[in-house]
């Protein structure tokens, strides 16, 4: 799974991506926040492969940011 910072511009350990709003989250694709550090995907969406894939990419992106911050 390739991770690119442009997948979720603005996503940080504490902040949501720029594309997120009250209307929806770019990770869940639904009107709830699925930020990996704020609650994640709801159980019903764990069967939606596209949402799970986006969630995985977001987690990897945040892990990469954390690793870079330690260097």
pTM of the model: 0.88
The dihedral region occupied by 6, where left means phi > 0, alpha psi between -120 and 50, and beta the remainder, is alpha
- Measured over the CA atoms of residue 50, residue 53, residue 59 and residue 65, the dihedral's sign is negative
pLDDT at position 1: 56
- Express each pLDDT in 3-13 by its tens digit: 666 789 999 99
Q: Is 41 exposed, middle or buried (0-12, 13-18, 19+ CB in 10 A)?
A: buried
The count of domains in the chain is 1
- Express each pLDDT in 14-26 by its tens digit: 999 999 999 999 9
Q: Is residue 71 in a domain?
A: no
Domain that holds residue 19: 5-66
Q: Is residue 20 in a domain?
A: yes
| Sequence-separated (6 or more) residues with CB below 8 Å from residue 46 | 52
3-class DSSP assignment, residue 22:
coil
């Amino acid at each position: 799974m390739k991770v690119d910072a442009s997948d979720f511009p603005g996503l940080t350990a504490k902040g949501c991506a720029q594309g997120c709003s009250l209307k929806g989250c770019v990770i869940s694709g639904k009107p709830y926040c699925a930020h990996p550090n704020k609650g994640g995907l709801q159980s019903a969406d764990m069967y939606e492969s596209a949402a799970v894939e986006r969630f995985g990419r977001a987690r990897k992106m945040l892990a990469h940011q954390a690793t870079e911050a330690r260097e």
